[in-house]
Amino acid sequence: MSKFSRRQVLQGAAATGAALSTPLVLNAAAHGYTNDPTKSGKLVFGFNVPQTGPYSEEGKDELRAYELAVEHINGEGDGGMLNTMTVNGEGPALKGNGVLGMKLNYVTGDTQTKSDAARASARKMIENEGVIMFSGGSSSGVAIAVQGLAQEKKVIFMCGLTHSNDTTGKDRKRYGFRHFFNAHMSGAALAPVLKNAMGGERRAYHLTADYTWGWSQEESIMNSTGAIGWETVNAVRTPLKTSDFSSFLTPVLNSGADVLVLNHYGKNMVDSLTQAVQLGMRDKMVNGKQLEIVVPLYSRLMAQGAGENVKGIYGSTGWSWQLTDAGSQAFVKSFGTKYGFPPSQAAHTCYVQTLLYANACELAGTFDPAAVIPTLEGMDFDGMGNGPVHYRADDHQCFKDVLVVKGKDNPSSNFDLLEIVEVTPRAQVEYDSNLYAGDLGPI
Amino acid sequence: MRKRDYFLLFIFAAVMLSMPIWGPFIDAGYPDIMQRFAVFGLIAVGFNLLFGLTGYLSFGHAAFLGIGSYTAVWCFKLFTMDVIPAIIASTIMGGLVALILGFVALRRSGIYFSILTLAFAQMMYSLAYSVLTPLTNGETGLQLALGDARVLDRALGTNPESGLPSTSFLGFGVSNQGMTGYWICAIVAIIGFYIALRITRSSFGIMLRGIKSNQTRMSYTGLAARPYLITVFVISGMYAGLAGGLLASVDPLAGAERMYWTASGEIVLMTILGGVGTMFGPILGAGIIKWLEAKLSTFNESVVEQAMAFLPDSIEHSFAVVASKFVGEGWHLSLGVIFMLIVIFLPGGVMEGLQRLVGLFGFGKTKKQGADTSTPAE
């Protein structure tokens, strides 16, 4: 074959490519904002949670909460927190007929607790299913990764459970919002309680999940316990995939530390705590003091997983179904009616985030992020658990009361494993938004 | 290259370039999955050069993919958000690492070679996952940050005033504009296919086939096989590095997961499923696996129950329980079954199936026939 035909082939290929790409380029330039539901005629939210991996229990509970929120927004069920919430001093703008008169649909995805898989799943939601907002979490690594994607694709991401300071700190994004509390607040709330319970002269040994959340929590807890006079003996990083922690736990006993801080979450925490208790750590005396274990971020699901072993162990949590305010009660009631057991803190934050976003759209009168984002920024709301809450505009972090909890000695049921030791008021956990400097970026 | 080969190239280019048109019919018309088709097609083509021509089964190709991705993201962080330098750097890096590994691993053949490459890939994975955390950011994955140097962008004044920049191609947005990313991947895949075709048809390619059919005889004729093997291994590594660079270009994040041994296994599966040694087979295999992954892994029990709603209730439930094991997180089960069926009944992969179909209906020389110019391996 002559060279002429090869050129022809290449030219043909190039011409075809150029011709095919034209409509798509025009299409991209012409649209107002990504996935406008009023154009497609379908309103879709994306729920991207870990259904596999070490955080899958939390993820499944989040999914239940999302389904419940969609029901309530569409006017099905008993309405839950729609009956109790107030935003900027007024009742909810949502009317129980979907959002802005459109029925709400949703799609789900599996993040597998991996940043790569989560991004792929989120891209599929944005590019293929046309979601106007997506939400999810349970790992800060994942939350930060998809939040970056949200910024690039200009689709709002309402963070689910993510506790790293970085999410609204150095990695904060204009298109990302977090209702959940963070490691800094855990430290600020826990330190005074720990000082009362264990004294001001302690030597702590940290085991830390080796990714952004672990690093961030380790730093925050070290700082706040340092302020009450504790010394950190050592901090060891453990891979997220670890399920046998014995090789990490044995050195603790020879280190002279009298407090073990487990910066672990989900199945990691269940495994490390159970194995620590099996090693007899709870009965050890070091430096003439009882060896104590602290789990800075606690959840009821983890307590259930670890069972007996959580007795007397301190930690902090964002929300508990035992709270008695009207909002929490309404949520627990509708969740319990639908699923037969109480919701976890992960479920709570995801439920609230979905309602808040939908309500902000209703308030703004449009789904356009350019109008919805300013509505969410600086919003004050109440009646959704944890008392009055403020969505700080500078870093998109919510400020609310934090709960310090302890494993109950005599639990009455499998769900009643944690008792609330103290409700730390919002003022005590607030910090300057420049403490963890970042840049939200443009709308 | 013969006339038929230009025809092959033309078909491939047409299929890739028209994907936005036919993609929606198989629910794959969105950039993310189309990019995956192109990128994994490319890596499978490169893998097939090694495995299809020489018969050396590398079980560590995902390591090159991961290295390519990390190189590209570092290139974005340090120099510029333009994808061209990143893609070039990741290709070179893939080749360099392949040269080092090839030098060691190609001293052995057969199963020993496979195990050596597997061990290497797992070592790379562990390094990326927990040892080289400052370089790879471990579990969290390497991502762009506000404080990145981006020396060239800052010098040229293209650095945005606030927020993170997107990757770009000569000023066109890539990671924030799905389709630009796809066109880049598709064009690179077509060029990659063309080069692979040239290599396969060249005397170098024939030499590689000679090594595959009888290496001892090749040695007796006075030929040193190793330089040829190392060359093709490096080329194959460059394809994988390039694919990794492309992945990072369309989505600037590199995680250690993509170097895990299952990822390497997936590349092998793609090639065998499609048809080892054929030009189209590996690409077809890559497409099938990526499509199944995207579809099956998102099904859950309720979707299955809906799909079987026409059955009586009792049967429906038991059917759904069984079927749900094969979708969602269990989609690998389905993949396993398909793979076994193919290997048992169609050792030449999907390409052999197509060939048989064509033979069955007795079309003499149709388009499909054209694709099967080379005989499938073993």
**Domain boundary assignment for chain B:** 3-260
Is-above-0.80 flag for pTM? yes
Tell me how far apart the alpha carbons of residues A127 and A147 are, in angstroms, rounded to a whole number: 16
The answer, yes or no, to whether residue A440 has pLDDT greater than 70, is: yes
- Point out the residue among B166, B258, B329 whose CB comes nearest to the CB of A52: B329
A439 and B31 within 8 Å at the Cβ level: the answer is no
The Cα of A218 is separated from the nearest Cα of chain B by a number of Å equal to 16
B2 and A124 within 8 Å at the Cβ level: the answer is no
Give B75's pLDDT tier (boundaries 50, 70, 90). very high
Q: What is the pLDDT of residues A82-98, one digit of tens each?
A: 889 999 888 888 888 89
Picking from A174, A241, A251, the residue whose alpha carbon sits closest to that of residue A209 is A241
The Cα of A442 is separated from the nearest Cα of chain B by a number of Å equal to 6
- Strands of A86-87's sheet, edge to edge? A86-87, A380-382, A389-391, A398-399
In this structure, are strands A133-136 and A43-49 parallel, antiparallel, or unpaired? parallel
Tell me how far apart the alpha carbons of residues B282 and B243 are, in angstroms, rounded to a whole number: 14
Give A145's pLDDT tier (boundaries 50, 70, 90). confident
Q: Which chain A residues touch B297 with a CB distance below 8 Å? A: 110
pLDDT for the residue numbered B130: 81
B32 and A239 within 8 Å at the Cβ level: the answer is no
The Cα of A107 is separated from the nearest Cα of chain B by a number of Å equal to 10
List Cβ neighbours of A380 (8 Å cut-off, separation of 6 or more): A87, A88, A89, A388, A389, A390, A391
The answer, yes or no, to whether residue B184 has pLDDT greater than 90, is: yes
A210 and B139 within 8 Å at the Cβ level: the answer is yes
Scanning every residue of chain B, which has its alpha carbon at the shortest distance from the alpha carbon of A148? B164
Domains annotated on chain A, with CATH: 37-181+321-399 (3.40.50.2300), 184-317 (3.40.50.2300)
Tell me how far apart the alpha carbons of residues B86 and B93 are, in angstroms, rounded to a whole number: 10
Angle between helices B349-361 and B261-274 (to 10 degrees): 20
Scanning every residue of chain B, which has its alpha carbon at the shortest distance from the alpha carbon of A53? B329
Q: Which chain A residues touch B162 with a CB distance below 8 Å? A: 439-442
A152 and B17 within 8 Å at the Cβ level: the answer is no
pLDDT for the residue numbered B268: 92
The answer, yes or no, to whether residue B371 has pLDDT greater than 60, is: no
- Point out the residue among A17, A144, A239 whose CB comes nearest to the CB of B129: A239
- Interval A237-243 mean pLDDT: 86
Tell me how far apart the alpha carbons of residues B294 and B186 are, in angstroms, rounded to a whole number: 19
Cβ pair B95, B67 in contact under 8 A: no
Cβ pair B346, B246 in contact under 8 A: no
- Point out the residue among A25, A154, A439 whose CB comes nearest to the CB of B162: A439
Q: Coil, helix or strand for A163?
A: coil
A124 and B187 within 8 Å at the Cβ level: the answer is no
pLDDT for the residue numbered B367: 47
B179 and A21 within 8 Å at the Cβ level: the answer is yes
Tell me how far apart the alpha carbons of residues B54 and B225 are, in angstroms, rounded to a whole number: 10
Cβ pair B215, B109 in contact under 8 A: yes
Give B173's pLDDT tier (boundaries 50, 70, 90). confident
Q: What percent of chain B has pLDDT over 90?
A: 42
Q: Point out the least confidently predicted range of A239-253, B139-153, B216-230.
A: B139-153
- Point out the residue among A20, A124, A438 whose CB comes nearest to the CB of B294: A124
Q: Point out the least confidently predicted range of A194-203, A236-245, B287-296, B301-310.
A: B301-310
The Cα of B27 is separated from the nearest Cα of chain A by a number of Å equal to 8
The Cα of B220 is separated from the nearest Cα of chain A by a number of Å equal to 36
Q: Which chain A residues touch B298 with a CB distance below 8 Å? A: 108-110, 121, 124
A116 and B255 within 8 Å at the Cβ level: the answer is yes
Pick B320 or A19 by higher pLDDT: B320
- Point out the residue among A120, A124, A152 whose CB comes nearest to the CB of B176: A152
The values of phi and psi at residue B262, to 5°, are -65, -30
Give A3's pLDDT tier (boundaries 50, 70, 90). very low
Helices (H), A199-245: 212-227
Q: What are the beta bridge partners of residue B183? A: none
Q: Which chain B residues touch A149 with a CB distance below 8 Å? A: 251
The Cα of B216 is separated from the nearest Cα of chain A by a number of Å equal to 36
State CA A120 to chain mean position distance: 19
pLDDT for the residue numbered B88: 96
- Point out the residue among A17, A25, A151 whose CB comes nearest to the CB of B164: A151
The answer, yes or no, to whether residue B238 has pLDDT greater than 90, is: yes
The Cα of B127 is separated from the nearest Cα of chain A by a number of Å equal to 12
pLDDT for the residue numbered B369: 43
Token pair listed for A268 = 């990691």
Q: What is the pLDDT of residues A305-325, one digit of tens each?
A: 888 888 889 999 989 888 889
Cβ pair B275, B350 in contact under 8 A: yes
Q: Coil, helix or strand for A289?
A: strand
DSSP codes joined into one string, A297-312: E--HHHHHHHGGGGBT
The Cα of B251 is separated from the nearest Cα of chain A by a number of Å equal to 8
Cβ pair A92, A68 in contact under 8 A: no
Q: What is the pLDDT of residues A61-87, one digit of tens each?
A: 999 999 999 999 999 888 889 889 999
The rounded mean pLDDT for chain B is 86
Give B374's pLDDT tier (boundaries 50, 70, 90). very low
A145 and B10 within 8 Å at the Cβ level: the answer is no
List Cβ neighbours of A81 (8 Å cut-off, separation of 6 or more): A72, A327, A330, A331, A351, A352, A355, A383, A384
Pick B300 or A219 by higher pLDDT: A219
A211 and B139 within 8 Å at the Cβ level: the answer is yes
State the number of CA atoms in the 13 A half-sphere of B125 facing the CB. 19
CB atoms within 10 A of CB B149: 10
Picking from B138, B159, B139, the residue whose alpha carbon sits closest to that of residue B149 is B159
Q: Is A177 exposed, middle or buried (0-12, 13-18, 19+ CB in 10 A)?
A: buried
A210 and B183 within 8 Å at the Cβ level: the answer is no
Give B368's pLDDT tier (boundaries 50, 70, 90). very low
The Cα of B70 is separated from the nearest Cα of chain A by a number of Å equal to 13
List Cβ neighbours of A184 (8 Å cut-off, separation of 6 or more): A165, A220, A429, A431, A435, A436
State CA B163 to chain mean position distance: 32
B141 and A108 within 8 Å at the Cβ level: the answer is no
The answer, yes or no, to whether residue B256 has pLDDT greater than 50, is: yes
Q: Point out the least confidently predicted range of A155-159, A163-167, B290-294, B330-334.
A: B330-334
Picking from A402, A230, A409, A222, the residue whose alpha carbon sits closest to that of residue A312 is A409
Which amino acid belongs to residue A406?
K
Q: What is the pLDDT of residues B52-74, one digit of tens each?
A: 999 999 999 999 999 999 999 99
pLDDT for the residue numbered B115: 93
Cβ pair A268, A54 in contact under 8 A: yes
- Interval B331-353 mean pLDDT: 86
A20 and B163 within 8 Å at the Cβ level: the answer is no
The answer, yes or no, to whether residue B365 has pLDDT greater than 80, is: no
Phi-psi region of B57 (alpha: psi -120 to 50; beta: other; left: phi over 0): beta
- Interval A147-172 mean pLDDT: 90
- Interval A161-188 mean pLDDT: 91
pLDDT for the residue numbered A13: 54
B146 and A438 within 8 Å at the Cβ level: the answer is yes
The Cα of B109 is separated from the nearest Cα of chain A by a number of Å equal to 33
Q: What is the pLDDT of residues B269-304, one digit of tens each?
A: 999 999 988 889 999 999 999 898 888 777 666 666
The CA-based diameter of chain B, rounded to the nearest angstrom, is: 71
A20 and B21 within 8 Å at the Cβ level: the answer is yes
Scanning every residue of chain A, which has its alpha carbon at the shortest distance from the alpha carbon of B139? A211
- Strands of A156-159's sheet, edge to edge? A104-110, A43-49, A133-136, A156-159, A176-178
- Point out the residue among B10, B177, B329 whose CB comes nearest to the CB of A9: B10
Q: What percent of chain A has pLDDT over 70?
A: 93
- Point out the residue among A109, A171, A212 whose CB comes nearest to the CB of B298: A109
Tell me how far apart the alpha carbons of residues B344 and A337 are, in angstroms, rounded to a whole number: 51
Give B214's pLDDT tier (boundaries 50, 70, 90). confident
